[in-house]
Amino acid sequence: PPHSAPQPGMMRSSIPSTAATAFIPERKPHPGGWLWGEMFKLRNVVLVLLVAQTTSIVLLMRYSRTVVRPLDAGPMYLASAAVFLAEAAKLPCCLYMVARVGGGCRGFVELLQSEVLNQPGETLKCAVPALAYTVQGNLLFAALSNLDPPTYQITYQTKTLFTAVFSRMMLGRRLAHSQWLALFLLFLGTVLVSDLKEARHRARAGGGKPLLGFAAVLGAAVLSSLSSVYFERMLKKPARSAMADRAGLWLRNVQLGTFALPLAGLTMVWNDGLQLRSYGLLHGFDGVVWLVVLLNGCGGVLVAP
């Protein structure tokens, strides 16, 4: 009944439920909780992995190209084969991520059909950065075969200046005078700390050619900057659907891989066909070389998140 007395053993609370929560003590967050949360955000984890990948791959590539091999071991492994295998490892990862964003096989097929097959013009535009990335990958091996890692790393930072120049030319991006001054000082510092005579002495001691190494690393820096800015320009175009927008970067990587993989294969056959026929694709590959291939493939995947 509406006005019946409360039953024995039961008490009616006179405090409204909303007010009762005010008496519950508030849980204070752990002082280090915010710090741990920031440290384990995806972008921070990816940044740490990129730093580790960038620094370690230079040392490993240099070691793999200059390590003393037994006389009966045959020729060194093919740098073009390492570039080809890195592209072969990267493409399946991008395809998997497109399928994951698409929600399964059906969404995967729809995305590829609508964004890749039904837009041949946009897909063909990816051939430009694909060619640049392929040549760049081979130039980096040539540079590290003829330069020591510090000289290589410092010289390769000139890509920051080239990126700014290409961004101004292709994207219309304006930089302040102080930013241009900072880039110029970076380039000037690169020139000043690059001791060409000492690099030539170290390179000759190791059987390298420093001028060829400098030309290769500068060419790689220009191609890296050009392809990055061109790729950014392509990504700025609006997607045709929300799903395509979420998978945009992965789809572009699939389009890049569609051209980069056969281009890397053709480069390998054209430049190293004789050794390829005589010794095979994987001749000279050891644990260090496979780690270089893995890190090269991961470098292209890590920038996507």
User: What is the rounded distance in angstroms from the CA atom of residue 46 to the CA atom of residue 51?
Assistant: 9
Cα separation, 143 vs 281, in Å, equals 22
CA–CA separation, 83 and 91 (whole Å): 13
What pLDDT is stored for residue 70 in this prediction?
81
Helical segments of 176-304, H only? 177-193, 196-205, 210-235, 242-246, 248-279, 287-302
Question: Which residues have CB under 8 Å from 121's CB, separation 6+?
Answer: none
Which of 23, 27, 7, 5 has its CA nearest to residue 15?
Answer: 23
Q: Which residue is listed with tokens 């059906």?
A: 106
CA distance 241 to 132: 29
Report pLDDT for 52: 79
Percent of the chain exceeding pLDDT 70 equals 74
Exposed, middle or buried, 151 (CB in 10 Å: 0-12/13-18/19+)?
buried
Yes or no: say if 92 and 292 are a contact pair by the CB < 8 Å rule.
no
Give the residue from 203, 272, 257, 278 showing the smallest Cα distance to 85: 257
pLDDT at 183: 81
pLDDT attached to residue 19 = 44
Check if the beta carbon of residue 53 is closer than 8 Å to that of residue 302: yes
**What values do phi and psi take at 261, rounded to 5?**
-65, -50
How far from each other are the two terminal CA atoms of the chain, in whole angstroms? Answer: 62
pLDDT tens digits for 65-97? Answer: 888 888 778 889 999 999 999 999 888 888 888
pLDDT in tens, 119-132: 778 788 888 888 99
Residue written as tokens 């790689």? 220
- Phi, psi torsion values for 31, nearest 5 degrees: -55, -35
User: What's residue 40's pLDDT?
Assistant: 55
Tell whether pTM > 0.85. Answer: no
The structure tokens listed for 287 are 């644990």
pLDDT at 304: 54
Helix or strand (DSSP H, E) at 87: helix 79-102
pLDDT at 138: 92
C-alpha–C-alpha distance, residues 223 and 50, integer Å: 20
201 token code pair:
């002495």
Residue 155 or 135, more confident: 135
pLDDT tens digits, residue range 7-50?
444 444 444 444 444 444 454 544 445 445 544 566 677 677 77
> 241 falls in which pLDDT band (50, 70, 90)?
low
